[in-house]
């Protein structure tokens, strides 16, 4: 279903495109490439020089190489356009420092800690935030989402539609369905303990 129509006439001033591609490599590893491009619909005067309408203000790309457990084994970035070329691409911290991190174990916090504020590039860091879910979708291309491996599917309990007590999980992932709301089991246990103390 599309968005409702805007409530007033408008003119587009800015367009940001984020494109993410996932690749399976012949060596058994995986590549995720993410690119961000910002353009203006009108000439854009900057202190560093005029950007013509349609010319990239930002054009930055990140690539990470992963093993089959989502560990980062290689990482690279490039900046093809930025407002202050000669400075923007000379990052104070090398983004290859993410090598060794796991996309699903503290990755987002680690990126903020390593590259937040003036320690990195806001746009490159933003691209990194997209990587976990993009990697998951890439891996999902070759693994059935309900394949019974004995481990709870990663996406269960990661959003409202896939809460373990939801109808969606009951229907599509019955092994992992829990017929209670979050915390209900804890409340029941607390009630039992309290009742036991009263009976003592």
Handedness of CA 22, 25, 28, 34 (dihedral sign): negative
User: Longest Cα pair distance anywhere in the chain, in angstroms?
Assistant: 80
Looking at the whole model, is its pTM more than 0.85? no
Note the pLDDT of residue 175: 80
3 CB-near residues (< 8 Å, 6+ apart) = none
pLDDT in tens, 52-73: 999 999 999 999 999 999 999 9
**Distance between CA atoms of 111 and 117, rounded to whole angstroms?**
11
pLDDT at 146 over 70: no
Note the pLDDT of residue 183: 54
H helical segments located in the chain: 107-115, 122-129, 131-140, 167-172, 184-199
**Distance between CA atoms of 134 and 22, rounded to whole angstroms?**
7
Rounded to 5°, the CA angle 55-58-63 comes to: 125
Note the pLDDT of residue 155: 73
Q: What strands lie across the sheet with 72-81, from one edge to the other? A: 14-24, 30-40, 56-66, 72-81
Predicted confidence band at 151 (pLDDT cuts at 50, 70, 90)? low
**Helix (H/G/I), strand (E/B), else coil: 118:** helix
């Amino acid at each position: 279903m599309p968005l409702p129509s805007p409530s007033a006439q408008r003119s587009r001033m800015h367009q940001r495109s984020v494109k993410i591609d996932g690749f399976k490599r012949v060596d058994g590893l995986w590549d995720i490439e993410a690119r961000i491009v910002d353009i203006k619909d009108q000439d854009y005067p900057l202190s560093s020089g005029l950007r013509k309408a349609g010319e990239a203000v930002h054009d930055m790309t990140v690539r990470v190489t992963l093993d089959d457990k989502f560990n980062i084994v290689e990482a690279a970035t490039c900046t093809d356009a930025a407002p202050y070329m000669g400075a923007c691409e000379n990052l104070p911290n090398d983004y290859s420092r993410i090598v060794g991190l796991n996309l699903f174990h503290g990755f987002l916090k680690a990126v903020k800690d390593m590259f937040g504020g003036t320690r990195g590039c806001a746009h490159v860091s933003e691209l990194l935030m997209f990587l976990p879910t993009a990697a998951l979708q890439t891996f999902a291309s070759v693994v059935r989402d309900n394949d019974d491996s004995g481990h709870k599917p990663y996406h269960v309990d990661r959003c409202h539609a896939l809460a373990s007590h939801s109808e969606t999980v009951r229907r599509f992932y019955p092994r992992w369905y829990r017929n209670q709301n979050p915390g209900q089991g804890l409340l029941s246990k607390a009630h039992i303990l309290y009742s036991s103390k009263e009976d003592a």
